[in-house]
Amino acid sequence: DTGVSQNPRHKITKRGQNVTFRCDPISEHNRLYWYRQTLGQGPEFLTYFQNEAQLEKSRLLSDRFSAERPKGSFSTLEIQRTEQGDSAMYLCASSFNPSGTGGEQYFGPGTRLTVT
């Protein structure tokens, strides 16, 4: 399968614990995005990378959230000291955007986080 993959698919954690999610983009896609989706809503943008550089972060991304994309390949999203309000589906997407063209974003299956 050459699509975007995300692990784990489901995560249940207790409030206050740290969690880390991984996203593997489509090979050779230079841009990678993280979104969060709560029940009944459309996804909301969190952050994006061009290669290894994190170029934009949403105000939704509090200081408890951190994302990395070492070597411009896979990415990780870590949430520290989880809160019940962090319960959501975390979606990763990637695109190929040579010279600023409008690349189509391809999404992974998501990681469903439940904070108890």
Partner 1 sequence: KQEVTQIPAALSVPEGENLVLNCSFTDSAIYNLQWFRQDPGKGLTSLLLIQSSQREQTSGRLNASLDKSSGRSTLYIAASQPGDSATYLCAVRIQGAQKLVFGQGTRLTINP
Is 38 within 8 Å of 88 (Cβ atoms)? Answer: yes
Q: Is 112 in the site for partner 1 (CB under 8 A)?
A: yes
Q: Is 44 in the site for partner 1 (CB under 8 A)?
A: yes
Q: Is 87 in the site for partner 1 (CB under 8 A)?
A: no
| Least distance (Å) between residue 32 CB and partner 1 | 10
Q: Is 61 in the site for partner 1 (CB under 8 A)?
A: no
Of these, 24, 45, 54, 72, which contacts partner 1 (CB under 8 A)? 45
Of these, 91, 94, 113, 115, which contacts partner 1 (CB under 8 A)? 91
Residue 69: name the closest of 111, 34, 101, 39 by CA. 34
| Least distance (Å) between residue 78 CB and partner 1 | 20
Neighbours of 27 (CB within 10 A): 9
Q: Is 25 in the site for partner 1 (CB under 8 A)?
A: no
Residue 43: name the closest of 9, 114, 93 by CA. 93
- Give the ranges where 11-88 is alpha helix by DSSP (H): none
